[in-house]
Amino acid sequence: MYRLYDYLESGNGYKVRLLLTLLKTPFERIELDIMKGATRTQEFLAKNPNGRIPTLEIAPGVFLPESNAILFYLAEGTPYLSSDRLGRAQVLQWMFFEQYNHEPNIATSRFWLGHGQEITPERKLALEQKNKLGYAALDVMERHLATQPYFVGGRYSIADIALYAYTHVAHEGNFSLDRYAAIRAWLSRVAAQRGHIPITQG
């Protein structure tokens, strides 16, 4: 059985939990308290030298880190990843966009603001920058979703799962979706998928 090293509040962890649940694939979840350094122990660094969750143990001693690489691994051969070469590349395009333009801004703001982290003057400056860049990422999503129901090929895929994870909790990072009608409609379509689970469900 898959073993998922995870942290319940993590949107990156949620991506994997959500897809495994949609696929009706059983898994064991190991909760690690990242606030207490549980991913930086020698024991965990032997599993993932980058010291991060989610990390999926796909066979005894075989560990796969990086949420979007895990999504791709699990989705191959399922309806959640295109069987077409260009479609796969477009799914990856949006997943790289998510990790480069979206997550470092929207997820990090949520993390800092949501965990009572001290907002130092340096962090205040960084938050202002992340706010600007996070809205730029939302602008790109809105423009794309204005003309199509899902990110790639007109159907729900792991590109949607990757971008849903932190978009649907963007308000926790002080981002308002009020002026993003297409994004809000897409969030509703994703949440209405059969088998959908909330981020709070382990």
Spatial contact of 123 and 138, defined as CB atoms under 8 Å apart: no
Q: How far is the CB of 120 from its own copies (least distance, A)?
A: 10
140, 181, 185, 191: which one contacts its own copies (CB under 8 A)? 140
Phi, psi (degrees; rounded to nearest 5) at 4:
-105, 115
Piece of the chain touching its own copies by CB under 8 A; list 16-24, 93-101, 168-176, 181-189: 93-101
Q: Which of 49, 79, 149, 202 binds its own copies (CB under 8 A)?
A: 49
Q: Is residue 181 close enough to count as binding its own copies by CB under 8 A?
A: no
Which of 58, 113, 177, 197 is close enough to bind its own copies by CB under 8 A?
58
Contact residues toward its own copies (CB under 8 A) are: 49-50, 58, 62, 64-70, 72-73, 76, 85-86, 88-90, 92-93, 95-97, 99-101, 103-104, 122, 125-126, 129, 140, 143-144
